[in-house]
């Protein structure tokens, strides 16, 4: 019994002693005692915080947002201090991280993943004087605006390239999770492909992971084995599948960033993000206190017209004819005379999901829960 108590005390003290020792370090430094100190360290600079759901080096979604945050840092130099946190899960952990940033003086915050929305809402309510920009959200608050790029526009265009390229009329798509952002892209891809080639189908495999290269490889191999000769994807790290396509001699459609150098022969094109200017402008608006009533105070959506999303360079196999057709549609998108999700669209089961003559609203498009006709795959009802 006595022995047990000692043992217990020993382990228990482990916890306390870390604290004690660490504060010892503080002492030698001359007593930096309060959180205010680090806030004061910022001087006159405004502090902008970014949180990312994954690693900044994923060559995908998070990398794109991370590059945006770098652009903010570069543009404003000493005037703005940028805080970042990667791998922030979409749970209460996100509120915790936002609060920690606020303690370090952050006044403008960018929670950049869809699941960060509700935690950010809670934090925003507690700090009405700060500005929050959420990436992809469909709900707003007084001091929380959401922004997103209509990435499905370039994905529709990429679908056109794929539809023109395929010989087997079977396209493959390696998805991550069956969430609306992914479903939108798959549907736009199929619709674009069908515009060029009415017989085309898209087969979808979900990996339930944003970046598991081994699973991506197996999934892409499965699709290729079942006859698909174009592989598109919605994964955070796109490199594995693109290189695999080059090896296997099937066409590759990329995502997030231009990766044409990874597949010099088989590359078609990709839908890519360009956050830089938007992030800088949003940060500036908030720092200058002009958030209220600005275009960002609400649901801000920008697309190909604004240059927030774009189509990557074309690969060597895309014919001039196809390029012309794609550029024509792209120009119509920029002019606002064409939308990927308009006109008569049916789902997998033949139900009409978009009436003839109707163009889907942001809310309709961003809460998709069905595959359009021609997509082979299953999602929960």
Partner 1 sequence: MYGIYGETITERVGVINLGTEGCMIAGALAGYAFTYKSGLPFMGVLMGALCGGLLAFIHSLLVIYRGANQLATGLTIMFMGVGITAFLGIDYVSVSCKGLSPVAIPLLSQIPVLGPVVFNQDILTYISYILCPLLTWFLFKSRSGLILRAAGEDSEVLSVYGYNPKLVKMAGVILGGMISGIGGAQLSMAYTHTWIENMTNGRGVVAVALVVLAGYNPKYAMIGAYVFGGAQALQLLLQAQGVNISTFILQMFPYIFTIFALFIAAKSGKQSAPAELKKIIESSAN
Partner 2 sequence: MIKKLKGTKDILMTFVSLLVAVLVYGIFLIISGVNPLDIYSQMITQTLGNGYGIGQVIVKSTPFILVAVATTISAKAGLVNVGGEGQLVLGALTSTIAAVFLLDGFPSFIGIPLMAVAGMLGGMFWSGLAGVMRVCWNMNETLTTVIMNYIAYDIVAYAVYGRLKDPESFNWPMSPKIGAQLKLPEIYPGVSIGIIIAVVISLTTWFILSKSTGGYKLRVIGGNVEAARHAGIPVAATQIKAFLISGAISGLAGMIEIAGVEGRLRTTTGTNYGYYGFLAAWMAWNNPLAAIFTALLIGFLSVSGNVVEISSGLPSSCTKILMAIILLSILWKGKKK
Nearer residue to partner 2 within complex by CB, 110 or 314: 110
- Of the candidates 343, 341, 309, 311, the residue with the CA atom closest to the CA atom of residue 327: 311
In the list partner 1, partner 2, none, the entry touching 215 (Cβ below 5 to 8 angstroms by class) is partner 1
In the list partner 2, partner 1, none, the entry touching 32 (Cβ below 5 to 8 angstroms by class) is partner 2
Cα angle for residues 374, 380, 381 (degrees, 5° grid): 90
Nearer residue to partner 2 within complex by CB, 53 or 262: 53
For the bound state, the minimum distance from the C-beta of residue 264 to partner 2, rounded and expressed in Å, comes to 31
For the bound state, the minimum distance from the C-beta of residue 285 to partner 1, rounded and expressed in Å, comes to 32
Work out the burial of residue 198: count CB atoms within 10 Å of its CB; fewer than 13 is exposed, 13-18 middle, 19 or more buried.
Answer: exposed
What burial letters (b/e) apply to 277-288, b meaning 16+ CB within 10 Å?
A: ebbbebbbbbbe
Number of residues that bind partner 1 (CB under 8 A): 37
Quote the tokens at residue 126: 């507690």
Question: Roughly how many angstroms between the first and final C-alpha of the chain, as a whole number?
Answer: 58
C-beta of residue 205 within 8 angstroms of C-beta of residue 377: yes
Nearer residue to partner 1 within complex by CB, 118 or 206: 206
Q: Is 65 in the site for partner 1 (CB under 8 A)?
A: no
In the list partner 1, partner 2, none, the entry touching 216 (Cβ below 5 to 8 angstroms by class) is partner 1
Rounded to 5 degrees, φ, ψ at 235 are: -130, 160
For the bound state, the minimum distance from the C-beta of residue 212 to partner 2, rounded and expressed in Å, comes to 13
What are the C-alpha distances in Å from 88 to residues 53, 96, 226, 249? 5, 10, 37, 37
In the list partner 2, partner 1, none, the entry touching 168 (Cβ below 5 to 8 angstroms by class) is none
Binding flags for partner 1, 228-267, as an x/- string (CB under 8 A) = ---------x-xx--xx--x--------------x-----
Residues that bind partner 1 (CB under 8 A): 55, 57-59, 172, 178, 203-206, 208-209, 211-219, 222-223, 225-226, 237, 239-240, 243-244, 247, 262, 376-380
């Amino acid at each position: 019994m006595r022995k047990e108590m000692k043992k217990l005390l020993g382990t228990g003290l482990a916890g306390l002693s870390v604290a004690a020792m660490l504060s010892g370090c503080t002492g030698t430094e001359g007593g930096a005692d309060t959180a205010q100190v680090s806030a004061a360290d910022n001087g006159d600079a405004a502090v902008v915080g970014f949180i990312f759901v994954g690693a900044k080096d994923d060559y995908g979604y998070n990398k794109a947002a991370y590059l945006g945050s770098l652009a903010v840092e570069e543009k404003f130099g000493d005037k703005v201090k940028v805080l970042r946190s990667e791998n922030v899960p979409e749970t209460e952990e996100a509120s915790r991280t936002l609060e920690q940033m606020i303690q370090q003086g952050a006044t403008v915050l960018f929670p950049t993943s869809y699941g960060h929305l509700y935690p950010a809402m809670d934090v925003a309510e507690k700090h009405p004087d700060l500005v929050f920009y959420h990436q992809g959200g469909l709900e707003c608050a007084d001091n929380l605006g959401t922004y997103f790029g209509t990435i499905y526009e370039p994905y529709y265009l990429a679908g056109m390239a794929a539809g023109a390229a395929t010989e087997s009329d079977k396209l493959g798509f390696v998805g991550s999770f069956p969430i609306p952002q992914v479903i939108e892209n798959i549907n736009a891809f199929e619709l674009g492909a069908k515009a060029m080639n009415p017989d085309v189908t898209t087969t979808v495999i979900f990996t339930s992971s944003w970046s598991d290269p081994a699973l991506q490889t197996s999934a892409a191999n499965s699709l290729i084995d079942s006859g698909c000769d174009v592989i598109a994807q919605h994964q955070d790290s796109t490199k594995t599948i693109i290189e695999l396509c080059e090896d296997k001699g099937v066409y590759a459609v990329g995502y997030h960033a231009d990766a044409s150098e990874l597949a010099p022969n088989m590359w078609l094109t990709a839908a890519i993000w360009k956050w830089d200017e938007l992030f800088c402008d949003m940060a500036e608006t908030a720092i200058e206190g002009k958030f209220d009533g600005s275009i960002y105070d609400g649901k801000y959506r920008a697309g190909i017209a604004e240059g927030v999303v774009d189509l990557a360079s074309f690969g060597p196999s895309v014919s001039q004819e196809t390029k012309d057709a794609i550029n024509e549609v792209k120009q119509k998108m920029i002019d606002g005379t064409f939308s990927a999700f308009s006109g008569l669209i049916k789902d997998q089961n033949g139900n009409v999901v978009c009436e003839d003559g109707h163009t889907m609203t942001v809310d309709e498009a961003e809460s998709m829960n069905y595959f359009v006709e021609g997509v082979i795959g299953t999602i929960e009802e």
